Structure 1
Amino acid sequence: MKKKLLIIGASGHGKVVADIALKMNKWQSVAFLDDNENIKLSMGIEVLGKSSDVLKYLEYFDIFVGIGNNAIRERIQKKLEAEGASIPVLIHPTTVVGEQVEIGVGAVIMAGAIVNCCTKIGKGCIINTGSTIDHDNTIEDYVHISPGVHLAGTVNVGQGSWLGIGSVVSNNVNITSGCKVGAGAVVVRDITEAGTYVGVPVRRV
């Protein structure tokens, strides 16, 4: 762990990430990189340059990818890993994390989230505000669990999937990789084909 944190992305998601980092109180300073040259400050935090500048900061900064898009976040984090970057896990102080929970590098767990025992959270995941993940879940790499999502026990969510705000997944359900589940949707049986799913219960669109 380094003494400074650098967040790639100074927009909405990046600002929430920065807020969590500040509340964790583990770094002497926090800064951003962002490709919008018009942004010099975000939340009063300095933007040091563009995302392409990141390599010159690897020696002195932990690096975190604060970008909400799953595919872009995965691409950037994989490049950082290949360069040997120090990538932390960010957990808001109000989060409840159970025993025997594994959390991959680059994951963020936001305010009020609950992750119950024996669950595995993959690399680069977003476990968003007020979401709940019950026991024995497997959330694969670069998944976004939106605010207010509720997963029952023994749920598997495949790599790069996105569960929309307020969606619900019943117990013992598997969701394959590359899925988008719409806001407020209810998943009661396995989803085996990538695609977009909406409704109560969900149907593919």
Structure 2
Amino acid sequence: MKDLIIFGTNAFSKQLKQIIEKDSDRRIKAFCLTTDYIKTDTFCGIPIIDFDHLETCFKKDTFEILVSVGYGNMNNNREYIFKKCINKGYNVASYRHSTAKIMTDNIGIGNIFLINSFVSDFTKIGNGNIIHNNVIIEHESTIGDYNFFAGAAATAGLVKIASHCFLGAKSVICDEVSIADYNLIGAGVVISSDTESYSIHSVAKTRTIRNASLEMMNYLLIK
């Protein structure tokens, strides 16, 4: 099995390193960042390598890159790094925690399934999704690319989630509902009907904001 290099040095990167080291035998050789973001030589006790110089330190066929970029800019940042890795010819790693129960093989690349996550039968999952602890994705659902499912988010059966969505902790998507691109669904929100692109859904007075800008979404995510 190839060694891992984690792209990113954020809180999620630190969490992933600890989870993987406790859960598997995969070796994490280094973190990496683009030049402008490197402020120190090490993170969590291992080296930080300039992304553009990885091949001077490691042979390309000996490692995979696990992209730990989070949900900032509605997951656009993760897509950018993901495609940057692909364009350099690097293999983008997926990770499944040993407690994750994934009942489908119809899964793309670069997905992360964390502790006790569950994906049911006949479900299709695209690329670059982060499925956090205790998330449930029920049968015959379709998940696009670059989505972020926070802890204990849940979808019922036959749900469609497009791309670049954020599902907050303990949010619920009801049966056969379609979630369009760029939807920010707050913690605890229940969605029972189809949504429009660029929408924000808040539990406060079950409020929905349509035609929201990425700037507004990003502000709410980091608030």
TM beyond 0.5: yes
Q: Aligned residue for 2:65?
A: 63
User: Within 5 Å, which residues of 2 pair with 1:1-205?
Assistant: 2=2, 4-34=3-33, 35-38=37-40, 40-42=42-44, 44=45, 46-54=46-54, 56=56, 57=58, 59=60, 60-69=62-71, 70-98=75-103, 100-199=104-203, 202-205=206-209
| CA-to-aligned-CA distance 1:67-100 (integer Å, 9 cap, x gap) | 11311110011111122111121000011111x3
Distance in 2, Cα, partners of 1:58 & 1:189:
49
Unpaired runs of 5+ residues, structure 1, are none
**Does the CA contact (< 8 Å) of 2:41 and 2:48 recur in 1?**
no
Shift of 1:152: 0.4
Structure 1 180/29 Cα, relative in aligned 2: closer, same or farther at 3 Å?
Answer: closer
Q: How many residues align?
A: 201
Distance in 2, Cα, partners of 1:177 & 1:58:
37
Structure 1 87/203 Cα, relative in aligned 2: closer, same or farther at 3 Å?
Answer: same
| CA-to-aligned-CA distance 1:131-163 (integer Å, 9 cap, x gap) | 111111111000001111011001111111111
Shift of 1:55: 5.5
Between Structure 1 and Structure 2, which shows a larger proportion of helix residues?
2
> In percent, how many aligned pairs have the same letter?
28
Cα-Cα RMSD: 2.1
TM-score by length of 1: 0.88
Residue identity matched to 2:24: N
Shift of 1:189: 0.5
Shift of 1:101: 3.5
Structure 1 167/54 Cα, relative in aligned 2: closer, same or farther at 3 Å?
Answer: farther
Unpaired runs of 5+ residues, structure 2, are 210-223
For 2:176, what is the secondary structure of its paired residue?
A: coil
